[in-house]
Amino acid sequence: MTKDLNINVQHLTRVEGHGNIVVNMKNGKLEKARLEIVEAPRFFEAMLKGRSFHEAHIITSRICGICSLGHQIASLKATEHALGLEVSEQTILLRKLLIHGATIQSNILHAYFLATPDLLGVGSVFPLISSHKDVVVRALRMKKLANDIGDTVSGRAVHPITLVPGGFTHIPSVKELENLKKRLVEQMVPDALDTVETMVALAESVPHFNRETEYISLHSDSEYALYDGDIYSSDTGRSPVEKYLNMTNEFVVPYSTSKHAKHNRDSLMVGALARWNNNYKQMHDIAKNAGFRMGLTTPCTNPYMNTIAQVAEAIHCTLDAIDIIDRLLSKGLKNERPNQAPVQFGTGVAATEVPRGILYHEYTYNQQGQIEKANCIIPTGQNLGNIDDDMVKLVPEIIQEPKEKIVLNLEMLVRAYDPCISCSVHIMDVDFIE
């Protein structure tokens, strides 16, 4: 079949940041199919150079408003490794609770407000306020409670306040945690299960497309890995976090202000679907079964199903958050001061899972506790090559469809990855040479 096709979607909507979808086909031959990142780069190295270890996570948080908690967690862990700062079990549990809040918030925001309008054939969530008010109100209620976890434990869900190297500047009260638990049990659990029913009803509209790729995530023996673990590749197995550069291999492409990444193949995928594929066995049973009910398979090679994996994770995070609050309360909350006395100054690497995938931070500190060298590799940057490769396979498969349908399917594909473009152009991969 010979066909010409030119698609140029400028500043794709309902994604975080600025990207263009560009497809060119001439006489049935695909010349170009890619996501061009045009977000203004932000040059974080200039902001971090010479900064105190007290400030690193405050600065890197500003790489992205949506992923600010994840950046803080990765940053704090890297700083703590570099300075030899031990943290308490309570600190780790509170951090895990915050990760659950942030993951629920982000996944629900994406599933309901950014992805669902496509499945219902509308351009945004706003028309749904009149047509599906109960569903919108439910989504807002879930988002609010997820954000309230952040506000209660970290002072503010966007650019959290209380997290610092070595611990927290403020510990929530027993009453606040009991109240959060009550709302999680009485409100979030039923809302999350209703969300499954909504997604089951919408699942028919999820495009059928499969492309197997390399799935990379954290993996832990003890739990569904979000806070910590080893790096795990579906192609090559486990690898220590310190070897992260071997797993990412960033490179510049001329059409993107964000760098791309690759490992065992030309492209790789990170995020909820990669975590599901690598770690679904460790997900809470109710969440895992909900995943199967919504159509997830093991492995699942349809990238559009990333949104569905996010919903399964929201259920897992809800149930695990309840468990964490129980553990915190049964141990008794201690008004601990953060441990901020460095025992060394060197290099620290850390990885953590954020909603969009595995995030790496690395810092080297000088003897004054100031940053000498920094690197940060973002999930969306790791996914960009995979999005392009999906497009290259997808376009010929749907080329007989009308152009609007092709454009919509491409937009939905990019949105399914829930890309965070501000993050991807943070630009921090630099050695500072005095």
Partner 1 sequence: MKPKVAVFDFTGCEGCELNKLNFEDELLAFLEHIDIVEWREAMDDKSDHYTIAIVEGSISTPDCVERIHDIRNRSEILIALGACAVQGGMNAMKNQYPLEQVREDVYGCHKDLFPTLPALPLSRYVRVDYEVRGCPMTKNEFLKILTSILMGKKPIKPTHAVCVECKLNENECVYDKGMVCLGPITRGGCDSLCTNFGQYCTGCRGLVDEPDVEAMLAILNRHGLSIVEAKKRLELFNYENQAL
Q: Which of 5, 24, 65, 396 binds partner 1 (CB under 8 A)?
A: 65
Are the beta carbons of 287 and 223 closer than 8 angstroms? no
Quote the CA–CA distance of 302 and 396 in Å, as a whole number: 16
Quote the CA–CA distance of 333 and 180 in Å, as a whole number: 15
Q: Which of 6, 31, 43, 174 binds partner 1 (CB under 8 A)?
A: 43
- Which 130-149 positions form the footprint of partner 1 (CB under 8 A)? 136-137, 140-141, 143-144, 147
| Binding status of residue 159 toward partner 1 by CB under 8 A | yes
Tokens of 295: 């159509």
Distances (CA, A) of 425 to 42, 131, 199, 316: 7, 37, 32, 30
Question: Please, what is the minimum distance in Å from the beta carbon of residue 413 to partner 1?
Answer: 16
The continuous run of DSSP H or E covering 94 comes out as: helix 89-108
| Binding status of residue 97 toward partner 1 by CB under 8 A | no
Are the beta carbons of 283 and 265 closer than 8 angstroms? no
- Where are the extended beta strands (E) located within 146-222? 163-164, 167-168, 214-219
| Binding status of residue 52 toward partner 1 by CB under 8 A | yes
- In the complex with partner 1, the residue whose CB is nearer, 114 or 308, is 114
- Which 281-310 positions form the footprint of partner 1 (CB under 8 A)? none
Quote the CA–CA distance of 365 and 359 in Å, as a whole number: 20
Strands 19-26 and 163-164: what pairing? unpaired
- In the complex with partner 1, the residue whose CB is nearer, 297 or 340, is 340
| Binding status of residue 41 toward partner 1 by CB under 8 A | yes
Total number of residues that touch partner 1 (CB under 8 A):
61
Q: Which of 4, 6, 8, 11 binds partner 1 (CB under 8 A)?
A: 11
| Binding status of residue 113 toward partner 1 by CB under 8 A | yes
Please count the CA atoms within 13 angstroms of the CA of 85 that sit on its side-chain side: 27
Q: For residues 304-317, b (16+ Cβ closer than 10 Å) or e, as one string?
A: bbbbbbbbbbbbbb
Q: Which of 30, 58, 120, 399 binds partner 1 (CB under 8 A)?
A: 58
Question: Please, what is the minimum distance in Å from the beta carbon of residue 434 to partner 1?
Answer: 13
Quote the CA–CA distance of 176 and 185 in Å, as a whole number: 14
- In the complex with partner 1, the residue whose CB is nearer, 141 or 293, is 141
| Binding status of residue 123 toward partner 1 by CB under 8 A | yes
DSSP character for 305? G
Q: Starting from the edge strand earliest in sequence, which strands make up the sheet with 371-377, in order?
A: 347-354, 357-365, 371-377, 430-431
> What does the DSSP assignment read for 270-295?
-SHHHHHHHHGGGS-HHHHHHHHHTT
- In the complex with partner 1, the residue whose CB is nearer, 162 or 352, is 162
Stretch of 202-210, 224-232, 249-257, 323-331 lying at the interface with partner 1 (CB under 8 A): 249-257
Question: Please, what is the minimum distance in Å from the beta carbon of residue 144 to partner 1?
Answer: 4
Stretch of 56-64, 76-84, 173-181, 287-295 lying at the interface with partner 1 (CB under 8 A): 56-64
Are the beta carbons of 419 and 37 closer than 8 angstroms? no
| Binding status of residue 333 toward partner 1 by CB under 8 A | no
Q: Which residues bind partner 1 (CB under 8 A)?
A: 11, 13-18, 38, 40-43, 45-47, 50-52, 55, 58-59, 62-66, 68, 109, 113-114, 123-126, 129, 136-137, 140-141, 143-144, 147, 154-159, 161-162, 164, 168-170, 252, 254, 257, 422, 427, 429-430
